[in-house]
Amino acid sequence: FQVVFYSPRIDATGELKNHTVVIKFILMGIPHTKGLEIELFILFLTFYLLTLLGNLLIIMAIISSSQLHTPMYFFLANLSVFDIFFPSVSSPKMLLYLTGYSHTISFHGCASQLFFYHFLGCTECFLYTVMAYDRFAAICHPLRYTVIMNQRVCAVLTVGTWLGGCLHAAVLTFLIFKLPYCGPNEINYFFCDIPVVLPLACADTSLAQMVSFTNVGIVALLCFLLIITSYIRIVYSILKIHSSEGRRRAFSTCSAHLTSILLFYGPVVLIYLRPASTPWLDSVIQVLNNIVTPSLNPLIYTLRNKEVKSALKKVLYQVVNPSAVQVIGLFSS
């Protein structure tokens, strides 16, 4: 059905005519998955809960352990915050309609979803770049690391990533939703995003398409080039280390970050920077990007990190057995 109201407009001939204006959109879900709602609900809910739990544990571990109060773990805590909010933009609504609730989303709700999706996505892109710079400073300039990455610099870089992401998302959202939507309102997707919302506009979308493609492309490419530049310098510095153990430890501190970068940039390139779009493939890639990748980051950053694993064990012990911790505290005092 069409959820619209009528608004009088003056056409090219100067006559007053009624035009339908969309006030709600209908999310059609993931293409070619009809009849799999229960299975998908269980699968997506599991990944979503794992994402929330894993990233909350990472944040708690970093806050509770004084050994992890360093720039690298400060940025990792920021990444965990984004990995909690990023899937929360689309997952709750998707889980609701998989259980049979309404597929509709209001016009302003759709705009908010698109804004927060690109705000958090772009901010995370900037954050990966900052994390690469942090690794560059730690490995290439170890004696000056604490001076280069002092608290003020970390705070400025973090605020800069948030403001940059907000500006990027605001420009895209304004360009997409200032267009009139007066025709079809069925979004063949599970959330509102540029490639599926823009074709529904009943006006010339060439400017919005050009700016969104350029904006996303420039941000992603610039960040990627800065990351590559940082890691070229890092690899060069590591190869100069004479000790094999030293080289191994240096590479291990970067491997988790590189893995996360590949998981983050792969979907961005496949969805936004391709000349042609395939709805089913785009949906699968977005599911991986929105739900699966944020749940993997806690594993990626803890599997080979003894400090984080040790802090996590302490947090889990305090959560599971708080009475025992109180008893130990009494005896130790």
Which tokens hold the place of 69?
């109060």
pLDDT above 50 for 4: no
Between 50 and 250, the more confident residue is 50
Pairing state between β 186-187 and 24-27: parallel
Which pLDDT score is estimated for 154? 94
pLDDT score recorded for residue 241: 78
Over the chain, what is the mean pLDDT? 81
More confidently predicted of 64 and 3: 64
Highest mean pLDDT among 43-52, 232-241, 251-260: 43-52
The CATH architecture of the domain made up of 24-300 is Up-down Bundle (1.20)
- Would the pLDDT of 333 be above 70? no
pLDDT, tens only, 116-168:
999 998 999 999 999 999 999 988 898 899 999 999 999 999 999 999 999 99
- 8 pLDDT band, cuts 50/70/90, is very low
**Confidence grade of residue 81 (pLDDT, cut at 50, 70, 90):** very high
Q: What is the pLDDT of residue 155?
A: 94
Candidates 135, 115, 126; CA nearest to 156 is 126
CA distance 192 to 181: 14
Provide mean pLDDT across the span 69-94.
91
What does the pLDDT look like over 162-194, one tens digit per residue? 999 999 999 999 999 998 888 788 888 888 888
pLDDT value, residue 5? 43
**What average pLDDT does range 59-76 have in this prediction?**
89
* pLDDT given at position 14: 45
Alpha carbon 194 to its chain centroid, in Å, reads 16
Q: What is the pLDDT of residue 158?
A: 94
**pLDDT given at position 295:** 86
Where are the domains positioned within the chain? Answer: 24-300
Angle at 47 between CA 46 and CA 51, to 5 degrees: 120
SS3 of 136-167: the string is HHHHHCHHHHHHHCCHHHHHHHHHHHHHHHHH
Half-sphere exposure of 175 (CA within 13 A, CB side): 21
Closest CA to 310 of 29, 67, 19, 35: 67
Single pTM value for the model: 0.82
